[in-house]
A and B are shown apart, each in its own frame.
Chain A
């Protein structure tokens, strides 16, 4: 058991934090810089995954299964979210014939 944790801890936790933050930031940049709703969606998935990975890392370092259970639940939610989100995207595309988010400005003052 000591062996397992030690094996994992060969890589410092800071590396994971750095990596996940970077991945998250890339997701953020994607969300902000893109106009294609589909790509924005993918960026959101990136952010979710970076969070997942970090949770798993913490969980493994602390030897606490709760973190991994949470990741499991996040995946559940993400799956549901993608299903609904893509359905919405389809509806939007049907009515506006585009998936440009700048076209979705009907809520303007």
Chain B
């Protein structure tokens, strides 16, 4: 029961703060609401017994990505209020599209059958130990490749961020 209450609570907070991300006038508020959303999502991960992901999620999103957002907002002084708004029509169309994609997603996903349990002998898959085993055996290659991705992303970011000489 507690789990269910927790689920509803976290979901409600996540959805409300997600909506607030869009509704806030100032980008800095959006960033903060987004951080809140991410924390609730971390809670969801814990609910799903994926402790490792929860930790990584907090570190990566709240720790790194949101800091990046905040820095961008602050350093470029982008915290301008309501400077540009789309027309009402566009907003309506956007809402319509969002609603439609919601329905369509539900329709697509609801028929998924997950009753088959693939690794019944495994317990606690969300723990670091188990995930690590899988990661370093089956997914070693993508894991190593992702480091190259990071490296190139780093190089790219530095290159783009550099001030033009001319």
Residues in chain A within 8 A of chain B (CB atoms): 1, 4-5, 7-8, 10-11, 13-15, 17-19, 21-30, 32-36, 38-39, 41-43, 45-46, 49, 52-54, 56-66, 68-69, 71-73, 75-84, 86-91, 93-94, 99-100, 102
Contacts and interface: CB of A to CB of B under 8 A. Distances in A.
A13 B114 contact: yes
Given A57-B48, A90-B161, 17 more contacts: A1-B121, A11-B47, A21-B102, A21-B106, A28-B94, A29-B94, A30-B21, A32-B97, A38-B69, A39-B30, A42-B30, A53-B44, A65-B134, A84-B153, A84-B156, A93-B78, A100-B83
A86 B69 contact: yes
B3 A11 contact: yes
Contacts of B146: 73, 76-77
B38 A33 contact: no
Nearest to B21: A42
Contacts of A19: 11, 14-15
Interface residues of B, number: 89
Given A25-B101, A35-B84, A87-B161, A56 B45 contact: yes
Contacts of B119: 63-65
Chain B contact residues: over half helix, strand or loop, or mixed?
Answer: helix
Given A65-B134, A76-B150, A79-B65, A29 B117 contact: no
Interface in B136-165: 138-139, 142, 146, 149-150, 152-154, 156-158, 160-161, 163-164
A8 to B, nearest CB: 6
Contacts of A1: 120-123
Given A33-B95, A76-B146, A24 B105 contact: yes
Contacts of B7: 11, 15
B31 to A, nearest CB: 7
